[in-house]
Amino acid sequence: MSSNALPPSRVTMEDVARHAGVSKASVSRFIGEGRGLLSEAIAQRIEQAIATLGYRPNQMARALKHGRTRLIGMLVADIRNPYSIAVMHGVETACRQHGYSLVVCNTDRDPEQENRQLAALRSYNVEGLIVNTLGQHVAQLRELQHELPIVLVDRKVDGLGTDLVGLANTEAVGLALEHLAARGYRELLLVSEPVQNTSSRRERAAAFEQWLAAHPGLRGQVLETGEQLGPRLAAWRAQGEGPHAVFCANGVAALATTLALREQGLGLFDEVGLLALDDLDWYPLVGAGITALAQPTQAIGEQAFACLLQRLQGEQCPPRSVNLPAALIVRGSTPDRT
pLDDT at 5: 45
Taking CA atoms, 237 is separated from 3, 179, 213, 246, 261, in Å, by: 65, 20, 21, 10, 10
Write down the pLDDT at residue 29.
82
What is the pLDDT, as a whole number, of residue 98?
92
- pLDDT for 12 equals 86
Q: How confident is the model at residue 249, as a pLDDT? A: 96
Confidence at residue 33, expressed as pLDDT on a 0 to 100 scale: 64
Q: b vs e for 121-133, b when ≥16 Cβ sit within 10 Å of the residue's Cβ?
A: bbeebbbbbbbbb
Separation of alpha carbons 26 and 49, rounded Å: 13
Low-confidence stretches of the chain (pLDDT < 70) are 1-9, 33, 57-67, 135, 266-267
Domains in the chain (CATH in brackets) are: 13-57 (1.10.260.40), 71-166+298-324 (3.40.50.2300), 169-295 (3.40.50.2300)
Q: Which amino acid is at 93?
A: T
164 bridge partner residues? 152, 321
CA distance 211 to 38: 71
Q: What is the pLDDT of residue 201?
A: 92
Q: Which of 73, 74, 304 is nearest to 167 (CA)?
A: 304
> CB within 8 A of 1, min separation 6: which ones?
none
DSSP string, 197-210: T-HHHHHHHHHHHH
The reported pLDDT for the residue numbered 65 is 54
The burial of 335, by beta-carbon neighbours within 10 Å (0-12 exposed, 13-18 middle, 19 or more buried), is given as: middle
Whole-number pLDDT of residue 1: 40
Q: What is the pTM of this model?
A: 0.81
